[in-house]
Amino acid sequence: MAEADTSSSGMAISGSPEPTGTKPSGAGPTGTKPSGTGPTGTKPSGAGPSDTGPACPPPASAPYPLDPTGTGRHADSERLRALGAAAPVLLPGGIVGYAVTRHHTLRDFLTHPEVAKSACHFAALSEGRIPPGWPLTTFATVEGMTTADGADHRRLREPVVKALSPRRVAALRPRVERLTAGLLDELPAQAARGGGTVDLRSAFAYPLPMRVISELLGVDEEFRDRLHELSGLVVNTTIDPEAAVAANRELVEVLGQVVTARRAKPGDDLTSALIAACAEEDARLSERELIGTLLLTIAAGHQTTLDLITNAVRALCADRGQLDLVRSGRAAWADVVEETLRHDSPVANFPFRYPTRDLDIDGTTIPLGAPVLASYAAAGRDPQAYGPDADRFDVTRRPAVRHLSFGHGPHVCPGAPLARLEAGVALRALFDRFPDLALAVPEADLSPLPTFVGNSVVELPVRLGRDLGADQG
C-alpha cells in the first residue's frame, strides 16, 4: 500500500482585510440566531436583501450541482476534488454554497478562527432567501451544539460529553455485547421468513445503536421507530417542502413527548439531566436548546453507527480477502472500523460552516456568510493524503494522517468513542457467528440513501450462510 507525502498541508487560507470577527450585515450578536426555519418549520423573519447589504458575489466557476438522490456519491466527490480544495456547489433551492474537499484543507478549515457555526452568519438566511421547507434548514437552525460557537458551544456540548465520557462508554461494552448477541439470535428466523435473506440494515445495524442511544437518553421504546423515521426525513435532500415542514413539526412534537415522559418519571439518563439543567436558577439550557440537543443526539447517536456498520459489511462482502485478513489476525476489527470511516464515511457532506469574512482557500474565494459543507466523503479518498490507491478499501492501510469522518477541533463528534465501540463489537460478533455471510444481490443493485448529507444504502439484503452459534448450541 502506498502512503502519501504529508510533509506539507498543500493549502493556504487567507482573509480579506476586514476586522477580525466581522459578521454579515443584519446578523445578531455572536451566539444569537435569527428566527429561522428551525425544527418547527416556520419561515425566517430576517430582513430582506436591501437591509443586509449586497448578496454574495457568484463564484468564478459555475457551481457543481450536488445530486440530492445520493446516486454516484463517490464519483461526485472525485469531481468536487478535481474542482479544487474548495469547490462551489449548488444546494437545493438554487442556493450557492461551497464544499471543502481535500483532507489537509478541510482539517485546517474546521479549526479556522474566522469560520463560524451559528446561523446568524448565514447570509442567505439573514436575507430571507431560504424558503419554508428547505431540506437543509434544520442543519442550520436547530438550537444545539452543532450551530453554536464559543462559550455557547461549550455550554451546550458539556452535558453530552459528560454522558459519553470514555469511562461511561467503556462501561457500556457488556450491554452492547448482550444487545448484539440477542439481535444475532433473531436473524436466522427472520431470514427463514424472508425466503433465505434478511435485510441486515433494518434487522441488525439499526436496532443496536438505536437501543443503546435510547437507553442513554431515556427514550421509551414507543418513540424509537418514529424518531428514526423522522430523522431520516430530516436528512433527506429529495423531500418536498410540505413534507419537510411536516416532518420537522412532528419531530419536535415527538421529542416533546419524550421530555414530558422524563419529567413525569426522571431517571439516570441524559434527558433527565438536561431537564434538570433547564430547571436550574441560572437556566443553563432553554427549552428549545433541550429539544435541539435531543434531536442532534438521537439522530447522530444512531444514524452514524447504523450507516457505519452497513458500509463496513458491504465492503467486507465485496472483498472477501479483506475479511480473511481480519479473521487470520493480520488486521483488527478496529482497523475495519477506521478504514470504513475513511473509505466510505457515514457522513458525506456535513452542513454548515460560514466564513465571517471573505476567505481565500487555495485560490478559491468563499464569500462572507456562504454556507460551507465539510465534504468528508471527498476528503477520505484524497490521494494527496492517502496515496494513489485512496479509492481502495484496505484494512491494512497505515496512513500518515487520521481520517476526519468524526470531524476535527472543537466540534469533533462527542459520540465517536461509542460509535467505534458499537461497530467493533457488532462486526466481530456478526462474522464470528455467520462467517459465510454474503450479499443477496449485486452491490450495484443496492439503492443509496436519498441524500447528499448521509452515505449508505436503503437496504442491505444478505444470506447468512453457516450459523456457528447454532453449531455450538
Backbone phi and psi for residue 187, each to the nearest 5 degrees, phi listed first: -65, -45
First to last CA, the chain: 41
Neighbours of 157 (CB within 10 A): 18
Neighbours of 16 (CB within 10 A): 14
Give Cα 161 distance to the centre of its chain.
17
- Which tens digits make up the pLDDT trace of 289-345? 999 999 999 999 999 999 999 999 999 999 999 999 999 999 999 999 999 999 999
In the block, residue with C-alpha cell 441488525? 204
Do residues 410 and 111 lie in contact, with contact meaning Cβ atoms separated by under 8 Å?
yes
Cell readout for 122 is 448565514
Task: Identify residue 418 by its one-letter amino acid code.
Answer: L
For residues 139 and 146, give the distance between their C-alpha atoms in angstroms, rounded to a whole number: 8
Compute CA distances 456 → 79, 257, 356, 374, whole Å: 19, 30, 33, 17
Q: What is the pLDDT along the chain (473 residues), one digit of tens a residue?
A: 443 333 334 445 555 444 333 333 333 333 334 333 444 433 333 333 333 333 444 555 799 999 999 999 999 999 999 999 999 999 999 999 999 999 999 999 999 999 999 999 999 999 999 999 999 999 999 999 999 999 999 999 999 999 999 999 999 999 999 999 999 999 999 999 999 999 999 999 999 999 999 999 999 999 999 999 999 999 999 999 999 999 999 999 999 999 999 999 999 999 999 999 888 767 688 999 999 999 999 999 999 999 999 999 999 999 999 999 999 999 999 999 999 999 999 999 999 999 999 999 999 999 999 999 999 999 999 999 999 999 999 999 999 899 999 999 999 999 999 999 999 999 999 999 999 999 999 999 999 999 999 999 999 999 999 999 865 54
Residue 282 buriedness (CB in 10 A; 0-12 / 13-18 / 19+): exposed
Rounded to two decimals, what is the model's pTM? 0.88
Do residues 216 and 270 lie in contact, with contact meaning Cβ atoms separated by under 8 Å?
yes
For residues 198 and 9, give the distance between their C-alpha atoms in angstroms, rounded to a whole number: 45
